[in-house]
Structure 1
Amino acid sequence: MLNREPEIRNFYTFIVIFPPFLRPGDTVGVVSPASWFPYDELADGLHILRNVWKLNVIEGQSLHVTDGPFAGSDNLRRADLQRLFDDPNVKAVFAARGGYGCYRIADELDLTGLRANPKWLVGFSDITVLLSLLQRNGIISLHGLMPRQFGDPERAESLESLRKWLFGKIPDDYTVSTHPLNRLGQATGPLVGGNLTMLVNSIGTSTDLDFDGKVLFIEDIDESLFSLDRMIRQLHRAGRLANLAGLVVGQFTDMRDNLSLPFGKDAYEIISEITAPYNFPILFDFPAGHVAYNLALPIGHVVELTVQQESSQLTFTRNKY
């Protein structure tokens, strides 16, 4: 029988809360804390949550309204999310999509109810801002597929990885093929990160992260190579890479080059060049980000990163404490 109480864990010197796993019949919420999208695009995702996973679903008001590019005003989206965080009967909160908007509402969120009754928060891309907020407050969350994408058959493996995490079927590890830019080594530490743009734009704010001793995961989409170079160099110049335990480089999708002044390197080569002075292990081409194969990642959970010649592993150390 699954434990229904949140687990409070001491990961070395890091105190974290591991939310209870889901089981059929639980109540979950779906909201859109960022960008607007047509409600009918959520039909498959709601069907899977209700009829396949057998969950009771509360639909947030933000799924049904618009305010320019956003799913309602900042106040509406914040209140939508706050209600689910505060409701002790809700066991997980799914961001229906990303886009842009979480950056505008994160500072006024109150996590008192969430700490009292921990629950899973699921999402990626712009939702990185919220994942970082929870990580700063010691609550593990999931960087993973969002309900708007659940019905895509090309994402079935990604959806299954998310389901396993939510329902307590945690994999021992993810194994990844080798990449020529990998830096060999082994590291252990809490997993932090997500969308690189959101991480860099959070520096100096309430969702800024302490990278020291952490395994950092990064991914992004639709950025210029010049912007990527600038963001990684900002982390370098700000000292955020100096004490990393390890780096996991996910998918950098639809990156744009300057046609009149070509950069001359791709995304991974840029990252490799800037991180060359450091000694931490680096795993490139991890299957997570704005791609169909987007494995669920537990933000705030301690992981072991092992980068070897033939293959590499991201191992989840849940049972070692």
Structure 2
Amino acid sequence: MPPFLRPGDTVGVVAPASWFPYEELTEGLRILRDDWHLNVIEGDSLHAIDGPFAGSDDLRRADLQRLFDNPDVRAVLAARGGYGCYRLVDGLDLTGIRASPKWLVGFSDVTVLLSLLQKNDIVSLHGLMPRQFGDPDRFASQESVRQWLFGEAPTHYGVAVHPFNRLGRAEGQLVGGNLTLLVNSVGTPTDLDFGGKILFIEDIDETLFSLDRMMTQLRRAGHLRDLAGLVVGQFTDMRTNSSLPFNKDSAEIIADAVADYSYPILFDFPAGHVAHNLALPIGKSVELVVQKTKGQINF
């Protein structure tokens, strides 16, 4: 795990994927500087536009690379997701961040970068990004990011019982993130070895047919067979095809895809494209406990 932050440390904020109006980051930058007492380096990508992206692939990659290579930078926060990390990930040189590990914070499209660091034995944080800091509905999510970064993380997260939970206990490295990005990484350098791992998945704005197709692809690729456990996050704004209804919801589709296996499964974990988006340490060894009365992830 990278060293925890202390007041006065330096962090970087970049936009490695989609562009957005810079003023939407005003409150997030204020929180980092005034409330968290951090020095903030702002990447060039925060002011850049190239079609849907926050600057060209080369500019966004160079932004990340400078921060990865700078030993004084203790964390790198993606300002937002969207789409774009997938286009630049293979050109990154991790020599600097291996020599001086630092936190990478983000989710959604940033999943491909979290996977890259996990494959290189560096723990990162799947969590709220600064563009959403300051939203009162997301304060608990923002606070969970701060707690993890500053070494104040909880010992566990507890989750209410879900009817599709599968009981059991497992230990393993936590991997995963956005399901679409995980599936699109199959057969690429950021494809993950899921064997013996606890997989976390979430997604947004997909059809139920697409969800079934993605889960089936992971199953056919053998990626679901040897898991230690599965944590199912939030699947938000899922769409049905009115001309040919799927007749199953997200939880049923996922449960069907892993029905042949016996590892524990925890459904409805509060992480993903929702206001209550608890930070998760991707690459850290955790314990998953699913009981009749509760489920929890122990750190």
Tell me which interval the TM-score lies in, with the shorter structure as reference length: over 0.9
- Residue in 1 aligned with 2:294? 311
- Residue in 2 aligned with 1:123? 106
Using the TM superposition, give the Cα deviation of residue 113 of structure 1 relative to its aligned residue in structure 2, in angstroms.
0.3
Matched, 1:91 2:70: no
Give per-residue Cα distances to partners, 1:224-261, cap 9 Å, x unaligned. 00000000000111111111000000000000000110
- Residue in 2 aligned with 1:221? 204
Using the TM superposition, give the Cα deviation of residue 81 of structure 1 relative to its aligned residue in structure 2, in angstroms.
0.4
Pick aligned residue for 2:238 from 250, 255, 258: 255
Using the TM superposition, give the Cα deviation of residue 170 of structure 1 relative to its aligned residue in structure 2, in angstroms.
1.8
Distance in 2 between residues matched to 1:104 and 1:274, nearest whole Å: 29
Pick aligned residue for 2:170 from 187, 203, 208: 187
Identity of counterpart residues, as a percentage? 74
Distance in 1 between residues matched to 2:179 and 2:245, nearest whole Å: 22
Distance in 2 between residues matched to 1:186 and 1:157, nearest whole Å: 27
Distance in 2 between residues matched to 1:38 and 1:149, nearest whole Å: 13
RMSD of aligned alpha carbons: 0.4
Moved over 3 A (4+): none
- Residue in 2 aligned with 1:44? 27
Using the TM superposition, give the Cα deviation of residue 131 of structure 1 relative to its aligned residue in structure 2, in angstroms.
0.1
- Residue in 2 aligned with 1:70? 53
Distance in 2 between residues matched to 1:288 and 1:304, nearest whole Å: 17
Distance in 1 between residues matched to 2:190 and 2:154, nearest whole Å: 28
Distance in 2 between residues matched to 1:183 and 1:299, nearest whole Å: 22
Q: Which amino acid aligns with 2:243?
A: S
Using the TM superposition, give the Cα deviation of residue 149 of structure 1 relative to its aligned residue in structure 2, in angstroms.
0.5
Using the TM superposition, give the Cα deviation of residue 67 of structure 1 relative to its aligned residue in structure 2, in angstroms.
0.1
Structure 2 gaps of 5+ residues are none
Matched, 1:135 2:118: yes
Pick aligned residue for 1:167 from 150, 155, 163: 150
- Residue in 1 aligned with 2:267? 284
Give per-residue Cα distances to partners, 1:164-204, cap 9 Å, x unaligned. 10000121100000000101111100000000000000011
- Residue in 2 aligned with 1:158? 141
Distance in 1 between residues matched to 2:12 and 2:125, nearest whole Å: 15
Using the TM superposition, give the Cα deviation of residue 274 of structure 1 relative to its aligned residue in structure 2, in angstroms.
1.3
Length-normalised TM-score, structure 2: 1.00
Tell me the SS of whatever aligns to 1:67. Answer: coil
Length-normalised TM-score, structure 1: 0.93
Using the TM superposition, give the Cα deviation of residue 151 of structure 1 relative to its aligned residue in structure 2, in angstroms.
1.0
Distance in 1 between residues matched to 2:181 and 2:33, nearest whole Å: 31
Distance in 1 between residues matched to 2:218 and 2:269, nearest whole Å: 20
Tell me the SS of whatever aligns to 2:216. Answer: helix
Length, aligned pairs only: 299
Structure 1 gaps of 5+ residues are 1-17, 317-321
